[in-house]
Structure 1
Amino acid sequence: MVKSRTKCLINHQVHTNRIVDIVKHTQYNTFNTVVVFALVLCFFVSSGGTSAEGLRVSGAFKPSLPDVAPQVNLAFTRPYIFEYKVYLPRTTSVERDKFHSISTIGPQKIGIHRDLPERYRGELKHSLTWRKRDDGIVAHLLVHSPDAESVRFLADLSLPVGASLNFYEITTSPHISVIHSYDVHAQGLEESSKFWSPIASGESIGVEILLPDEASKEHFELKLLKIAHGYERSFTAATNVQECTNHIDVQCAIDDGDISEESVSTSMRLRYESEGVTYACSGTILNVPNDGEDVWIPYIMTAEHCISTSAEADSVVAYWNYQYEQCGGTSLSSDYTSTPGGADLLATYPEGDQTLIRLRNDAPAGTFFSGWWVSDVESGETGICSGHPTPGIKKFFSGTTTGNFDVNVCADEDGNDCELLVDLIELELENGAIEGGASGSALRINHPEDNEDYFVGVLSAKSTDHPPCEGGVGYFGEFRHFYPDVAQWLGAETEPEPDDVHGDTEDTATVVELQSGTEGLINDENDIDYFEVTVEQVGTLVIYTTGSIDTTGTVTNEDGSVDLTDEDSGNDLNFLINFAADPGTYSIKVEGNQSSTGSYILVVEFEVHNEQNDDLDDHGDTEDTATPLELDSTTVGEIDDEEDIDYFEIVIDRAGTLKIFTTGDLDTTGTVTNEDGTVDIFDDDSGEDLNFSITFDAAVGTYYIKVEGHSTSTGTYTLHTEFEAHDDHGDTKESATTISSSARNWKFSTVAYINNAFDQDVFELVFSRKTKITIYTEGETDTVGRLTNLNDVDIVEDDDICDENDEDCEENLNFSLTYTVDEGTYYLYVSGEITEKSEYTLKIETDADQVSE
């Protein structure tokens, strides 16, 4: 049965590291919007049954190989003598406080990214010590992040043909152990690319670089970019530190007959990097019988809210059989192993929270590749699952399906940062529990004909309607909705989907209407989708895509007078093209940028010009009619003729670096001024192509931006503003802001800012006598305060004024410290539980009369 519904494109952002909370769910056929959004466009979308409905593919074991790969040893057994050592400082208290925590739901946060000290940045080729051997030259690099439980690095790397890499870790013996070796050709590292190393246990990771000869150094490049500092070891047997105590070890479930050993073998833990943080989720390997005899391509299904970009897929490490050897035991399975090397992102389905990736290296021999079933799962089915909740050891959970629902998944109980997930399977939990890290786990349903448990869905979210560990419901993206997008890789024998939904040339273009939305799919890096739209009146034509893939769009017309290309002016990484269109036929070309593939929606909007608005300018021609801009924004503009000028106004409420520039094919000039005339900056071609670009230190105030076409240039452009606030107070004792007074009783107040999650403000407090002090903050920012003595020994610390057990206290996320100090110097550290720059007011009050001298 094909189900149709009205789907609304909604302006909201979904964060990969969200904390999910089901605030409302409704029956699929009676969907009601729960959270009110600004609607951009509504149109009908058809979804539901596919030609593959009911298709089943059985699972299969990848044969175990009798030959064991030879042990790889380093060319030099004592590399530490000649290693180039990259030593990071110890993590700051801010880093530790912000990230040394356990996620309770969603992707499991297990580490952070650290910046390199300045002296280690740039090309390292000439910093390494190269030694000769019979078959070439060798150098060693060691990266050390103190107190890390595991470590890896991101590098710009290019290697000559014939080179190889041996990565090693330092064990407690101390002993150097090779953890992974790379053949350059097999890994595709001949050309410069960003490369994530394997993961080493402990504080250090080393790499031995072997080049075939001295001359090949010319083709070698190495630049370190980031260090991933892990808060859990990679990997040892972990004690049960989960919030929930009712988890069920998979080996116990196997022994009890609740799940088969084959089903458990299909699930693995996925560790990956995203936006400065290391995360872990779960995944499932699928069987593809038509790939050929003895061909075992590692296709992995996981949640889209875990892995949704090529950069995240590039960093993937898969961990197999990360489970206890015996029920109730504490030793890891003897079959535990890992597959580094990253993965390729093949397809995503945001509406159903599903992603398909392909590991670049093989799954271990003996792995069971899961069977799968393109099925409309009915209510009353027993669903079984195995996944990796905090801290990652594989667990079992199960329940009964109770129907399919549209679900709003939100960042908090107030309904913020919600996204609509469509037609999810609801599973009433009866055994085990769901916690962070289990995201991406497979839902398996038994088929009575062959008594095999088949993959049918991916764990997306858990409702908070129940206590965290007592029953509750889990929601799974249903695989049958995603199957049409991934059938080309899974390759089951069924009625094939069309190879290309939209033509690859203008002659085979799909005709689209004005005010429409059309689903599209970029199948591979060579795929192009062409569309054609006809405009019968003069007006403004707006063409853009929505979705999770990175798109590039080009619009042309028949006589060649229009040729516009855009990449990222829309939401996320989508293109957006906006221009004044004359009557005629326009061709629209949609491509995936930088090998990006997957589904998208092409939106075409049109506004007719009439006598009243024909003479209207999109942006005013004077400062008095300037268009207001936000910081860190993009705005589309058009220079209609050689006399047209576009004015914009932007308000800066704190000092920082302001960058203003345009992108597009138009040759622009820009001028930035302020109200009092102290700023007057002009630029013509400092940006890309013929665009202007202006960067300067901006004080608090209002600034005006004038955009013109150079000479007689006309057309559309995109204006960008980027702002980075200056740090108002230092981050260390050496750069601290000093506050002092000789009065017996005094009050101090100042407005300050936390710029980001890594920022902290340090204040030096000097007291001339023994006094009672009260230090607190006011405002909407969630602050943490810590007072130390001159030697940086903690005296008192506070997070929130309200005690979490005090139900009568009105919620207040500011800190408050009260303490009696002696004469001397103290340091106050203020940090914030924030995701973007936030303002707070710091207040200090002293009362020497309340203490005895």
Structure 2
Amino acid sequence: MRTSLPTPLLLSLALASAVLTPAKASQRLALTAVPQTLLTPAEVRAEIGRVQGDPLRYAVAEPLNLDQRSGAWDQTETGLARWRLRIASDGARSLSLHLRELNLPQGAQLWLYDASGSGDRQGPYDRDSAAIYQGELWLPVVRASEAVLEVQLPMDATPELHLAVAEAFHGFRSLTSADGVEPKASIGSDSGSCNIDVVCSAGNDWRSEIRSTVLLSTAGVSLCSGSLVSNTAQDDRPLILTANHCGIRSSNVRTVTAYFNLQSGTCGGNQNGRTDQNLAGASFLARDENSDFTLFTLASKPPSTYNAYYAGWDARSGVAPQCGVAIHHPSGDEKKISVYNSAATPADNNRICQNDSCSSFFTVDAWRVVWTQGTTEAGSSGAALWNQDHRVVGVLSGGGASCSARSEPDYFARLERGWTANSSGSGQLKAHLDPNSSGCLTLSGKNPGSASPVTACSDPPPSDGSSCAPDSGDGGGGSPGPALLAGLALLAISRRACRAAAAA
């Protein structure tokens, strides 16, 4: 780490009444006077070399020892005190930060943004932001190689500001700036060309369910997919369902960032989706290894501007889905949809390998799915499998499908197995998805605030699958060349952090 430190200037002028906004592009020239911390290239390269074989990793962490004394003070045009610090890393595809000992005075606001002024901007955060927990804040990504951490606050509150920059995260998977000039992946790598953007016609019957799917980043370095799910209280509790092997636990759930609506606006356009609609993880609820599920809550309900949807589910035993979709973020790319038009089949005691030699593995009872359109990749782990009735019936554990192996199956841990996987609430889904003890094994999805609690029910029979029909098959996630396709074929060996195989 190398730091350049101009002399800080603390101005003591009266506070002018104004709405707080980050510095405008016209003020960017002043950044040359702001201290810059550059991550040590050799240390970054060494860490990338150590972890790049893990298909769920998109970034590496570099420890820092910076605080409010490391930045520079000046004054905004509106008379507010402004503190700034630049963080840079050569070749970074994205940057994010972990802050500790954060104390934002009353009236202060904090941002992290692209130093160019034209890309991502995260924030504002204030002292009441749900993402801040016991002085810690895990900032979402900025797709740039240089980012600015900025705080604006009343002049008389400057002595109260305190923060420590504990870690910076250098994104090494392929992505670029958010201005769309060079189409790349949003947070992770570009997915294979057979992946289908959710905006394409394959997603037309699944517009609500698409709104429930999120990209999950844990501890600033790893990726998975997940879904916002409803419960029988129908109280809009922000429950996220994902896979146990994604590694989210009570010890790190506060490091999770859930990105909503990270998707391309055009079919096959592979445009960079937005990253500013995100929420932090809050409470770990339950997990089970053998049914490969994890359930946790977000720090707050999604704001109305996110237009989120609470997914329904079906936990009945032995009711095979006849057709449906998976909605996911392959390789951390924009949201994609995969379609299956043949009935899934139960596959018990499947061995899910967690390394190339399969010396580390777990077994799972799964739905075996072969795709009619699309596929899944690393980063798709934890994505929901939806049946013909638009209900979640499983989460992605592993498989061999890829753009170069279209006929290979994928395996989704069956929701029924996780329903009462253990007697304690921390090891089952039922305690949290049916808090009213209604006895329901099915629940339809809902828009926020649109349904009453369910206290008793008679689960409807599953539909006969007559709605299952081939789609037109349009639009992919990009057009990688032969070299990338070859790389994807090799990645299939350890893709999605695990590979499903029949138990020996």
Give your verdict on TM over 0.5. Answer: yes
> How many Å separate the matches in 2 of 1:243 and 1:187?
32
Corresponding residue of 2:267: 327
Corresponding residue of 1:348: 287
Residue 225 to residue 214, structure 1, CA distance change in 2 (3 Å): same
Q: 2:141 aligns with which of 199, 207, 229?
A: 199
Corresponding residue of 1:12: none
**1:374 corresponds to 2:325:** no
Residue 287 to residue 188, structure 1, CA distance change in 2 (3 Å): closer
> How many Å separate the matches in 2 of 1:371 and 1:441?
14
Residue 456 to residue 72, structure 1, CA distance change in 2 (3 Å): farther
Check the 8 A contact 1:246/1:432 in 2, yes or no. yes
Number of corresponding residues: 402
Q: 2:218 aligns with which of 261, 268, 272?
A: 272
Residue 164 to residue 341, structure 1, CA distance change in 2 (3 Å): farther
What are the within-5 Å matches in structure 2 for residues 650-799 of structure 1? Answer: none
Corresponding residue of 1:187: 130
Look up the equivalent residue of 1:481 and give its one-letter code.
R
Q: Provide Cα deviations, 1:208-242, integer angstroms capped at 9, x if missing partner.
A: 22455646735x43222221001234756645876
Measured after TM superposition, the shift of residue 354 of structure 1 is: 0.9
Look up the equivalent residue of 1:458 and give its one-letter code.
V
**1:263 corresponds to 2:202:** no
Corresponding residue of 1:302: 242
Corresponding residue of 2:6: none
**1:88 corresponds to 2:39:** yes
Corresponding residue of 2:257: 317
Q: 1:281 aligns with which of 216, 221, 224?
A: 224
Q: Determine what percentage of the aligned residue pairs are the same residue.
A: 20
Check the 8 A contact 1:409/1:461 in 2, yes or no. yes
Residue 148 to residue 243, structure 1, CA distance change in 2 (3 Å): closer
Measured after TM superposition, the shift of residue 438 of structure 1 is: 0.8
**1:417 corresponds to 2:417:** no
Measured after TM superposition, the shift of residue 445 of structure 1 is: 0.9
Structure 1: state its 5+ residue gaps: 1-69, 448-452, 498-803, 805-853
Q: Provide Cα deviations, 1:748-781, integer angstroms capped at 9, x if missing partner.
A: xxxxxxxxxxxxxxxxxxxxxxxxxxxxxxxxxx
Residue 382 to residue 72, structure 1, CA distance change in 2 (3 Å): farther
Corresponding residue of 1:455: 392
Check the 8 A contact 2:120/2:142 in 1, yes or no. no
> How many Å separate the matches in 1 of 2:264 and 2:100?
37
> How many Å separate the matches in 2 of 1:248 and 1:281?
18
Residue 236 to residue 482, structure 1, CA distance change in 2 (3 Å): farther
Check the 8 A contact 1:171/1:177 in 2, yes or no. no
**1:221 corresponds to 2:162:** yes
**1:440 corresponds to 2:382:** yes
Check the 8 A contact 2:119/2:179 in 1, yes or no. no
Check the 8 A contact 2:261/2:306 in 1, yes or no. no
Q: Provide Cα deviations, 1:183-202, integer angstroms capped at 9, x if missing partner.
A: 212337584x3321232121
Check the 8 A contact 2:244/2:289 in 1, yes or no. yes
Residue 377 to residue 211, structure 1, CA distance change in 2 (3 Å): farther
Q: Provide Cα deviations, 1:783-813, integer angstroms capped at 9, x if missing partner.
A: xxxxxxxxxxxxxxxxxxxxx9xxxxxxxxx
> SS in structure 2 opposite 1:457?
strand
Look up the equivalent residue of 1:252 and give its one-letter code.
C
> How many Å separate the matches in 2 of 1:433 and 1:252?
15
Residue 343 to residue 145, structure 1, CA distance change in 2 (3 Å): farther
Measured after TM superposition, the shift of residue 492 of structure 1 is: 5.5
> How many Å separate the matches in 2 of 1:93 and 1:82?
26
Check the 8 A contact 2:193/2:403 in 1, yes or no. no
Check the 8 A contact 2:104/2:126 in 1, yes or no. no
**1:138 corresponds to 2:78:** no
Residue 177 to residue 383, structure 1, CA distance change in 2 (3 Å): closer
Look up the equivalent residue of 2:247 and give its one-letter code.
I
> SS in structure 2 opposite 1:251?
coil
Look up the equivalent residue of 2:328 and give its one-letter code.
G
Q: Provide Cα deviations, 1:617-669, integer angstroms capped at 9, x if missing partner.
A: xxxxxxxxxxxxxxxxxxxxxxxxxxxxxxxxxxxxxxxxxxxxxxxxxxxxx
> How many Å separate the matches in 2 of 1:460 and 1:487?
20
Check the 8 A contact 2:72/2:85 in 1, yes or no. no
Q: Provide Cα deviations, 1:260-307, integer angstroms capped at 9, x if missing partner.
A: 211222212122227xxx121111111346354xxx432211111113
> How many Å separate the matches in 1 of 2:213 and 2:434?
21
Measured after TM superposition, the shift of residue 165 of structure 1 is: 3.1
> SS in structure 2 opposite 1:187?
coil
Corresponding residue of 1:472: 408
> SS in structure 1 opposite 2:262?
coil
> SS in structure 2 opposite 1:346?
strand
Check the 8 A contact 2:131/2:279 in 1, yes or no. no
> SS in structure 2 opposite 1:126?
helix
> How many Å separate the matches in 1 of 2:362 and 2:368?
17
Q: Provide Cα deviations, 1:414-453, integer angstroms capped at 9, x if missing partner.
A: 43112233x2222233332221111111011123xxxxx1
Check the 8 A contact 2:399/2:411 in 1, yes or no. yes
Check the 8 A contact 1:406/1:420 in 2, yes or no. yes
Residue 85 to residue 323, structure 1, CA distance change in 2 (3 Å): same
Check the 8 A contact 1:158/1:221 in 2, yes or no. yes
> How many Å separate the matches in 2 of 1:358 and 1:329?
33
Residue 244 to residue 146, structure 1, CA distance change in 2 (3 Å): closer
Corresponding residue of 1:384: 325
Check the 8 A contact 1:284/1:300 in 2, yes or no. yes
Look up the equivalent residue of 1:272 and give its one-letter code.
T
Measured after TM superposition, the shift of residue 182 of structure 1 is: 0.7
> How many Å separate the matches in 1 of 2:396 and 2:272?
25
> How many Å separate the matches in 2 of 1:322 and 1:473?
26
Look up the equivalent residue of 1:150 and give its one-letter code.
S
Q: Provide Cα deviations, 1:142-194, integer angstroms capped at 9, x if missing partner.
A: 2112221210111222315515332142364x558743111212337584x33
Corresponding residue of 2:21: 73
Check the 8 A contact 1:211/1:217 in 2, yes or no. no
Look up the equivalent residue of 2:370 and give its one-letter code.
E
Check the 8 A contact 2:88/2:147 in 1, yes or no. yes
Corresponding residue of 2:233: 290
State the TM-score, normalized to the length of structure 2.
0.69
Corresponding residue of 2:497: none
Corresponding residue of 2:197: 249
State the TM-score, normalized to the length of structure 1.
0.42
Residue 158 to residue 462, structure 1, CA distance change in 2 (3 Å): same
What are the within-5 Å matches in structure 2 for residues 583-594 of structure 1? Answer: none
Q: Provide Cα deviations, 1:578-602, integer angstroms capped at 9, x if missing partner.
A: xxxxxxxxxxxxxxxxxxxxxxxxx
Look up the equivalent residue of 1:83 and give its one-letter code.
V
> How many Å separate the matches in 2 of 1:239 and 1:136?
37
The answer to which of 227-236 and 93-102 deviates more is 93-102
Corresponding residue of 2:500: none
Corresponding residue of 1:154: 98
> How many Å separate the matches in 1 of 2:199 and 2:49?
34
What are the within-5 Å matches in structure 2 for residues 163-182 of structure 1? Answer: 163-170=107-114, 172=116, 178-182=121-125
Check the 8 A contact 1:169/1:200 in 2, yes or no. yes
What are the within-5 Å matches in structure 2 for residues 6-155 of structure 1? Answer: 73-74=21-22, 77=27, 80=31, 83-91=34-42, 94-95=45-46, 98=49, 108-116=56-64, 121=65, 124-131=67-74, 137-155=81-99
Residue 495 to residue 175, structure 1, CA distance change in 2 (3 Å): closer
> How many Å separate the matches in 1 of 2:228 and 2:292?
17
Check the 8 A contact 2:131/2:280 in 1, yes or no. no
